Chain A
């Protein structure tokens, strides 16, 4: 794990609107290594989905515009790739699954047609051979009776099953990177557990990297190796999942951890982060978090200067003027090759009790 598979370097994305330009992704840097899961965490409007879509160059231009920055995938800058080459990357090298599987599947084609399409395009297979690959992909994601499901339409499947189909489709061409944008947000907890377990199993088997976009800290804690926390278009914190959950450095992450109710925690009152999540149309000046920050205490530096992401400790990048020794910390590329030890024990259901 010496070379990152994907390295986003100071990406800036803007959209032009009738009321001027908005700039929802600002100097975003992060990296993913083979076999690793990077979780990108943040609330609505923080830029996490725009960042993910940029990797596949799915932002429509106009109104979108890649202002600056680079997205290196296996050493090549995806933003400079001709469209024809980019099409070979999409679906083949990098696949993506979305939050709402119903809107991402075409309602008038069968499941089989949709999976086979990717196989036909990228693997040079035709007819029955392509459908055999599709059937195998469905079996791998744990769908019972895949031969019959191939001939069914999306509306005949449940939400969890549709998400399995999306995963089957994404993995049918054995991508090196899977971008999963809130893959379980629309699902029930018991189905969420099934899908996340499936993703972990497939990752173990294929060694693919996963960029997992989510707002659920529980999902992050149990699935990620490294984490990038985004707020108002910026990465405010980037570290290993263990370091981040042990002691978050940024006041936003700290506040987020405290405000989430935890199972078994006996608290009468939740701590809160004051104020509201800023809208990309009018991000605050200076540090984007300063209007809600409990640490800043009227510090003019926070109001005027947006802190850069600095390496405040070994393997730990954060952006806050009020971290000890922040001004002296070096500004370095956030690159973090880290794989967590297997900690979650999954037992098959029948050995319960």
Chain B
């Protein structure tokens, strides 16, 4: 299939070379074919992930935020090879993770695990908790019999559950406890990288903080790196060292967590942050309510994918020469935007502010 060459991703010179990242992803693309007709001919592609690059350092957390359909979950699954990816590069401690098969792959998989959002559907209802947590130990030949049981007991204890529960079934536990079981399973092979895919979104508010603290403790103790995928911006800020914001399959902004929240550059990030309701009845901030909805990734807008909803290009276009602008229709409205935004894809490049603060926007500096 033909893939239009993406704009060059400008990667800022990396900091101390000694710190090799645990996981490195370069130009990851995952396209799903759209099939139509009797012969299921491929008529197009949903570009769920369209050129995403990042790396996660040992014991650190990269937060990945975005709205539903932006491709954040697909990033997490493709890099673990749970979904076949279209192109790109994934490295685990410098070695290629995409070509190994069989035993080699299995050995690498021990080091890279995942925690799912829904603790109900991600645990087999017919297996006891002991078997759920013990299965990976047996499959990878780490322990069996009594040894395995001892390890399961200590894992249960580690995640805050009574070791005597190992004979029980998942339905006997509450949501928060089930998520603890999922975590115990993920850490059973002592991984050093875990994809946490919305690990607390399905939980009650008072339980979320317990799980977040547990993940934090495990990270400190076992030096695990996390790719933390979530849509709750406050949770991501609290949890991440670095944050990447995704929109329609691409990273539109990435920076150190405190920098991104204090000094957002991309108008989408600005709007996203302003949309979060604050638990304060006397808020100081003014709200930017974005018009329209996220476009379908099967038919993304040309140019900057955000331009039909972007308040900034619209504002600047209203004060610019008509020759530099074009009229578009979005969410039932007609208005002008900068032609550059409508026709050319902006690259992710360094913006003013801290080093390594990158954003993909023609307008902001």
Q: Which residues of A contact B (CB under 8 A)?
A: 43-44, 144-145, 158-161, 188-194, 196-197, 215-224, 241-242, 245, 255-257, 259-267, 269-273, 276-277, 279, 340, 343-353
24 contacting pairs across A/B (C-beta < 8 A): A144-B331, A188-B67, A189-B275, A191-B67, A191-B293, A193-B277, A194-B290, A218-B276, A221-B280, A222-B281, A242-B282, A245-B280, A257-B279, A261-B239, A263-B237, A267-B238, A272-B213, A344-B287, A346-B286, A347-B288, A349-B289, A349-B291, A349-B311, A349-B314
- Residue from A145, A194, A261, A264 whose CB has the most chain B CB atoms within 10 Å: A261
Task: Name the 6 nearest CB pairs between A and B, nearest first.
Answer: A144-B332, A218-B277, A259-B209, A349-B311, A188-B67, A261-B238
Contact A272 B206 (CB under 8 A): yes
Measured between beta carbons, the chain A residues less than 8 angstroms from B308 are none
Of the candidates A263, A271, A277, the one whose C-beta lies within 8 Å of that of B276 is A263
Contact with A along B183-215 (1 / 0, CB 8 A): 000000000000000000000111111101100
Besides the contacts A197-B289, A276-B176, what 13 more A-B pairs have beta carbons closer than 8 Å? Answer: A160-B293, A189-B67, A190-B275, A194-B290, A241-B281, A255-B206, A259-B206, A261-B238, A263-B278, A270-B209, A276-B177, A345-B287, A352-B288
Of all chain A residues, the one with the shortest Cβ separation from B262 is A264
Q: Does B261 contact A (CB under 8 A)?
A: yes
Q: Does B365 contact A (CB under 8 A)?
A: no
| Chain B positions 137-157 with a Cβ under 8 Å from a chain A Cβ | none
Measured between beta carbons, the chain A residues less than 8 angstroms from B318 are 350
Of the candidates A260, A269, A347, the one whose C-beta lies within 8 Å of that of B279 is A260
Measured between beta carbons, the chain A residues less than 8 angstroms from B235 are 261
Q: Does B9 contact A (CB under 8 A)?
A: no
Dominant SS at the B interface? helix
Q: How far does the alpha carbon of A257 sit from the alpha carbon of B209 in the complex, in Å?
A: 11
Of the candidates A215, A220, A242, A352, the one whose C-beta lies within 8 Å of that of B311 is A352
Contact B206 A277 (CB under 8 A): yes
Measured between beta carbons, the chain B residues less than 8 angstroms from A272 are 206, 209-210, 213
Measured between beta carbons, the chain B residues less than 8 angstroms from A216 are 277
| Chain B positions 229-270 with a Cβ under 8 Å from a chain A Cβ | 231, 233-235, 237-239, 258, 261-262, 267, 270
Q: How many residues of B contact A (CB 8 A)?
A: 56
Of the candidates A189, A196, A271, A349, the one whose C-beta lies within 8 Å of that of B231 is A189
Measured between beta carbons, the chain A residues less than 8 angstroms from B271 are 190, 349
Contact A158 B293 (CB under 8 A): yes
Contact A217 B238 (CB under 8 A): no
Of the candidates B205, B231, B288, the one whose C-beta lies within 8 Å of that of A256 is B205
Of all chain A residues, the one with the shortest Cβ separation from B279 is A217
Measured between beta carbons, the chain A residues less than 8 angstroms from B216 are 269
Measured between beta carbons, the chain B residues less than 8 angstroms from A264 are 237, 261-262
Q: How far does the alpha carbon of A10 sit from the alpha carbon of B57 in the complex, in Å?
A: 56
Contact A188 B294 (CB under 8 A): yes
Q: How far does the alpha carbon of A267 sit from the alpha carbon of B239 in the complex, in Å?
A: 10
Of all chain A residues, the one with the shortest Cβ separation from B314 is A350
Q: Does B37 contact A (CB under 8 A)?
A: no
Measured between beta carbons, the chain A residues less than 8 angstroms from B289 are 190, 193-194, 197, 346, 348-349
In the assembled complex, how far is the CB of residue B334 from the closest CB belonging to chain A, in whole angstroms?
11
Contact B174 A277 (CB under 8 A): yes
Contact B270 A190 (CB under 8 A): no
Asked, given contacts A145-B332, A257-B279, whether A217 binds B287 with beta carbons under 8 Å apart, the answer is: no
In the assembled complex, how far is the CB of residue B73 from the closest CB belonging to chain A, in whole angstroms?
14
Measured between beta carbons, the chain B residues less than 8 angstroms from A191 are 67, 293
Contact B231 A276 (CB under 8 A): no
In the assembled complex, how far is the CB of residue A113 from the closest CB belonging to chain B, in whole angstroms?
23
Contact A271 B279 (CB under 8 A): no
Asked, given contacts A217-B279, A221-B279, A221-B281, whether A270 binds B174 with beta carbons under 8 Å apart, the answer is: no
Of all chain B residues, the one with the shortest Cβ separation from A271 is B209
Q: Does B273 contact A (CB under 8 A)?
A: yes
Measured between beta carbons, the chain A residues less than 8 angstroms from B205 are 43, 215, 217, 256, 259-260
Measured between beta carbons, the chain B residues less than 8 angstroms from A43 are 204-206
Measured between beta carbons, the chain B residues less than 8 angstroms from A351 are 315
Measured between beta carbons, the chain A residues less than 8 angstroms from B16 are none
Contact B267 A352 (CB under 8 A): yes
Q: Does B25 contact A (CB under 8 A)?
A: no
Q: Does B320 contact A (CB under 8 A)?
A: no
Q: Does B347 contact A (CB under 8 A)?
A: no
Measured between beta carbons, the chain A residues less than 8 angstroms from B281 are 221-222, 224, 241-242, 245, 340, 343
In the assembled complex, how far is the CB of residue B290 from the closest CB belonging to chain A, in whole angstroms?
5
Measured between beta carbons, the chain B residues less than 8 angstroms from A256 are 205-206
Contact with A along B92-114 (1 / 0, CB 8 A): 00000000000000000000000
Contact A276 B174 (CB under 8 A): yes
In the assembled complex, how far is the CB of residue B117 from the closest CB belonging to chain A, in whole angstroms?
14
Q: How far does the alpha carbon of A345 sit from the alpha carbon of B261 in the complex, in Å?
A: 21
Of the candidates B207, B210, B279, B312, the one whose C-beta lies within 8 Å of that of A353 is B312
Q: How far does the alpha carbon of A269 sit from the alpha carbon of B215 in the complex, in Å?
A: 11
Contact B212 A270 (CB under 8 A): yes
Q: How far does the alpha carbon of A255 sit from the alpha carbon of B205 in the complex, in Å?
A: 10
Of all chain A residues, the one with the shortest Cβ separation from B363 is A353
Q: How far does the alpha carbon of A272 sit from the alpha carbon of B203 in the complex, in Å?
A: 14
Contact A193 B287 (CB under 8 A): yes
- Residue from A217, A260, A267, A273 whose CB has the most chain B CB atoms within 10 Å: A260
Contact A270 B213 (CB under 8 A): yes
Contact B272 A260 (CB under 8 A): no
In the assembled complex, how far is the CB of residue B84 from the closest CB belonging to chain A, in whole angstroms?
27
Measured between beta carbons, the chain A residues less than 8 angstroms from B67 are 188-191
Measured between beta carbons, the chain A residues less than 8 angstroms from B332 are 144-145
Q: Does B13 contact A (CB under 8 A)?
A: no
Q: How far does the alpha carbon of A18 sit from the alpha carbon of B249 in the complex, in Å?
A: 49
Q: How far does the alpha carbon of A353 sit from the alpha carbon of B287 in the complex, in Å?
A: 12
Of the candidates B68, B276, B283, the one whose C-beta lies within 8 Å of that of A344 is B283
Asked, given contacts A144-B332, A145-B332, whether A192 binds B275 with beta carbons under 8 Å apart, the answer is: yes
Contact B206 A273 (CB under 8 A): yes
Measured between beta carbons, the chain A residues less than 8 angstroms from B208 are 259-260
